[in-house]
């Protein structure tokens, strides 16, 4: 069945928004299905991870974000984590719920701190405070190993040298 023809731009926007909301709801339902079926009770418990990241040994020009990308491990559940940091660099890692930490495994860390953040709406080019090598866990050199028997909290301190 074809979509109804929009009378004006406002109606077309409402139809697109509604279709987007329906798709988002379906995706969310599919992602939650295993948890509702009891899969949630078998997941490992994250280990609390917190710390501080500095910029050339001192504070940041503005807050940013850390991405913890799990290295694939045979037979182990892996899930990425993230943490926002403030100007003084303090952070607490989240995987499932705010501040719960990371699942056991090895992680590479990506760092982002934007002077001009990337945006689909902006005509300005994105500009990062960081050298490109630190925006990818493959080149940042930052890693963390969360042992299977770790209880936490794990304290992680990192420093990004100024360019």
Distance of alpha carbon 98 from alpha carbon 73, whole angstroms: 24
**By the 8 A CB rule, do 108 and 145 touch?**
no
Fold for 49-160, please state it: Immunoglobulin-like (2.60.40)
Burial of 61 by CB count in 10 Å (0-12 exposed, 13-18 middle, 19+ buried)? exposed
The SS3 assignment for 57 reads coil
Distance of CA 71 to the CA centre of its chain: 15
pTM above 0.75, yes or no: no
What local confidence, expressed as pLDDT, does residue 28 receive? Answer: 46
Mean pLDDT, 10 residues at a time, the chain of 163 residues: 53 51 50 52 84 96 96 82 97 96 95 89 85 90 92 93 86
Distance of alpha carbon 143 from alpha carbon 138, whole angstroms: 9
**By the 8 A CB rule, do 129 and 65 touch?**
no
What local confidence, expressed as pLDDT, does residue 54 receive? Answer: 96
């Amino acid at each position: 069945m074809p979509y109804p023809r929009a009378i004006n731009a406002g109606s077309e926007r409402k139809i697109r928004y509604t279709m987007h909301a329906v798709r988002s709801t379906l995706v969310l339902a599919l992602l939650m299905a295993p948890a509702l079926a009891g899969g949630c009770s078998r997941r490992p418990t994250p280990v609390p991870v917190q710390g501080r990241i500095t910029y050339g040994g001192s504070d940041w020009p503005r807050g940013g974000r850390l991405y913890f990308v799990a290295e694939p491990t045979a037979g182990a559940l892996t899930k990425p984590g993230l943490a926002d940091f403030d100007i003084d660099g303090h952070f607490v890692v989240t995987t499932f719920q705010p501040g719960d930490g990371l699942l056991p495994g090895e992680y590479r860390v990506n760092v982002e701190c934007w002077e001009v953040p990337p945006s689909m709406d902006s005509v300005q080019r994105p500009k990062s405070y960081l050298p490109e090598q630190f925006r990818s866990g493959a080149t940042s050199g930052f890693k963390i190993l969360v042992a299977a028997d770790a209880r936490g909290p794990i304290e992680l301190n990192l420093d990004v040298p100024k360019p």
